[in-house]
Every structure is written in C-alpha cells, then in structure tokens.
Amino acid sequence: MFYFLLPIVIFCIFMSLRTLFIPHTVRGKFVSLENFLYLGTVYLTVIIGFGLIYLLFQLIGTPVLKEINNHSGNNIFETSFYFSAMILFSVGNGDVLPQGIGRIIAVIEALIGYTLPAAFVARVILNREK
C-alpha cells in the first residue's frame, strides 16, 4: 500500500506546484482575493502532501520524525502535519526533529517553502504585464 500511495502523493504535490509555472489567463490586481486563495491552496496542498509522506513512512515502521518532550502521547498524524507546516514556513521550533530519510524530505520541503513566495510574486507580475 505504501508503494501505491507515495507516488500518488508526490504526483499531487508536483501538479500543485506546476500550476505556478504554467501560463495563467486570469488577469487582476496585484492583491486580490483570488490570488490570496490560490497561494493558500498551493501551500495547503504542499503541507498535506508532505505530511502524508511523513505519515506513510511512519506507518510502515521507518522512523522519520522524533518528537522531543512528548507529553501528549504518540499521535503520528498530528506530528506529521505539524512538522510539515513548520518546515514549509521555516519556523521550526525544534520540538520535532527529522531523522534518517526524513532529513532529506525536510530539506526538499524547505526548498519548496523558500521558492513558493518568489514564484508566486513572479507569476503575479508576469500576469499583470500581460
């Protein structure tokens, strides 16, 4: 099941990110509700996608996240999505640490988190010029 779900999740993340780089015909203001919702949707897709990747690895028994001072029990669902959001937004409180393959996944997610705002701004300006 893991080898079936992982490619699907990666494909969904890729398709969401791809929308930033293909031509878009909607024209509008620099700051509009549509642009804000679009960016929010892309961020949400990436958070959920990477959260599912962390979760899938945890479910097959490959430890990718280690929670420090775990007082609330071992909720891998909550931890996976929380860590995904923290890495994407580059906040990283240090209460959840990646380990093993999770480090590589976290680096990829952090790079996406750094490039999303720049790609979005470039897209809005290019659409504005058209």
Classify residue 100 by its DSSP letter.
Answer: T
Total residue count of the chain as it appears in this document:
130
Query: Which fold does the domain 2-129 belong to in CATH?
Result: Helix Hairpins (1.10.287)
Q: What is the pLDDT of residues 85-130, one digit of tens each?
A: 999 988 777 888 999 999 999 999 999 988 888 888 877 777 666 6
Q: Model's pTM, two decimal places?
A: 0.79
Instruction: State how far the Cα of 58 lies from the Cα of 14, in Å rounded to an integer.
Output: 22
Residue 21 clears pLDDT 90, i.e. is over it: no
pLDDT at 91: 76
Q: What is the pLDDT of residues 44-81, one digit of tens each?
A: 999 999 999 999 999 999 999 988 877 666 688 888 99
Contacts of 46 (CB under 8 A, 6+ apart): 13, 16, 17, 84, 88, 109, 112, 113, 116
Instruction: State how far the Cα of 85 lies from the Cα of 113, in Å rounded to an integer.
Output: 10
Encoded amino acid at 61, one letter: G
